[in-house]
Structure 1
Amino acid sequence: MTPGTFAVRLGRLYFTLQAAAGALWWVGVFTLPWVRHTTLGELNPVVVGALDIPLFVLASAAVALGLRSFVWVVVPWTVIVTMGLAVYATVTGLAGWGVLIMVAASGGGLAAGLLVWLKRIPTEWIVFGPFRFRAAPAGRAGYLGQTFGQIVVFWGACLVLIPGIIAVVESRWGLSIQLPLWARIAGGVLLLVASALGIWSAVTMSTLGSGTPLPSAMPRLLVIAGPYRFVRNPMAVAGITQGIAVGLIASSWLVVVYALCGSLIWNWVVRPHEEADLEAKFGPDFAAYRERVSCWVPRRPRAGAPRR
């Protein structure tokens, strides 16, 4: 079986499961009041079902049977429903669980649709414009200042703005779960430790690598000193841990999920392209470094690991 054939079969399997889950959900909507209330709020199930059953359930079944053109029906419809339900839940405070289900369906449907239509997920689409990997200009000073500027922007967006919006929406949708005090304290400690690791990693990269963490101005030299001796991606480890810590501090389980989803996207989508770029630039040196040092779990470097 070729990789393309496997990808198509995997995508069709997803739509098979989605069609079955959608059918069962609609049975629950019409037979179980709690399912209807938690996922649709006060929306009229007959009106919604008249559109959703053919455009979501039956269209998913059609893709599962090999009619791939129905991808262009089910995926856009899923996204439209997700956005509409999110607006409804935000205005009314109802149907929060329905929004979460549809967010998951939108992400899964988009990925499966790409598998069915393109026979793969084109992860290279994410590496474009300001996210395209480029080495920092040679001979330019101020890498450390640029790095701290990037930290302010990215930490402000990823650790304050986005989690704040998620926490507000989580409360408005009636999905909040109050965490115990000890969990919030643990989150504060975890945030301090992870932030220290992030700053240590950023300073090491900018001072020894002649570049910044930003993809558009990456280090010109391979950095294997400081925290990079113990784990290949200390900034990613720090960022994900910070996100989890912020979720604990804010008593928001959705922020924790946001951080964990970010880790999966980084590991499966971004990291392969970043490591391919590093291997193209640094060749055997990076290949040897990758063999010696773990990607995620910090550990003592193996004997013979160079120090720079």
Structure 2
Amino acid sequence: MTSLFLRNLFFTILQPGVVAGLVPYFIIRDKISEILSLPFAWFHFLGILIFAIGLFITLHCITRFAIDGKGTLSPADPTKKLVIRGLYKYTRNPMYVGVMLILIGEAIFFASFRLLMYSGIVFSAFTLFVIYFEEPRLKRDFGEEYAEYRKRVRRWI
């Protein structure tokens, strides 16, 4: 169990941490102190709310991968069982939805058009990755179980 926790921690920092943390930091680092010195406005609170919802969703999904799937979020260390509980009952890709909400929350909080454009690029990359890599792998790994799940649950929301 410790090994699974450490692997999930590593891949969480490596994947969503880089996509939703490190890269956005580099995109807006020159404006962070300026933005944080301004008084809070309504859009700051909205950005925090959307970010928090996205973070909750992402952490929930990582937990489901570990508990239900006995694996991690990484394609390098995938789940051994198909995860269909929790938010996975409503969308096949809630973790990507969570990361997108984190990015949109950041873009709103920092009033950053560059972060918003980056979010669009990330969503496009997620979509291509899901369609051309993840879905074929899930079909190969889980066969009919995944086919039935795919019929019942939408790709996004």
TM-score (norm: length of structure 2): 0.86
Deviation of 1:150 (Å): 2.0
State the AA in 1 paired with 2:28.
A
Q: Which residue of 1 aligns with 2:13?
A: 152
Which string of whole-angstrom CA distances, capped at 9 and with x for unpartnered residues, describes residues 212-247 of structure 1? 001100001111111111110010000111111111
Deviation of 1:208 (Å): 1.1
State the AA in 1 paired with 2:84.
I
Q: Does 2:98 correspond to 1:249?
A: no
Partners of 1:217 and 1:265 in 2: how far apart? 20
Deviation of 1:270 (Å): 4.1
| Aligned-partner SS, 1:221 | coil
Q: Does 2:16 correspond to 1:163?
A: no
Larger radius of gyration: 1
State the AA in 1 paired with 2:70.
S
Which string of whole-angstrom CA distances, capped at 9 and with x for unpartnered residues, describes residues 173-213 of structure 1? xxxxx9x9222210101111110111111101111111100
Question: Cα distance 1:270–1:199, how it changes in 2: closer, same or farther (>3 A)?
Answer: same
Q: Which residue of 2 aligns with 1:263?
A: 123
Q: Which residue of 2 aligns with 1:197?
A: 57
State the AA in 2 paired with 1:147.
N
Selected match of 1:227 from 87, 99, 110 = 87
Number of residue-to-residue matches in the alignment: 151
Deviation of 1:160 (Å): 2.6
Q: Percent identity?
A: 23
Q: Does 2:41 correspond to 1:181?
A: yes
Q: Which residue of 2 aligns with 1:211?
A: 71
Partners of 1:156 and 1:288 in 2: how far apart? 32
CA RMSD of aligned residues (A): 2.2
Deviation of 1:263 (Å): 0.6
Asked whether the equivalents of residues 170 and 254 of structure 1 are also in contact (C-alpha less than 8 Å), the reply is no
- Where do 5+ consecutive residues of structure 2 fail to align? 33-37
Deviation of 1:254 (Å): 0.9
TM-score (norm: length of structure 1): 0.46
Deviation of 1:264 (Å): 1.0
Q: Does 2:156 correspond to 1:296?
A: yes
Question: Cα distance 1:277–1:153, how it changes in 2: closer, same or farther (>3 A)?
Answer: closer
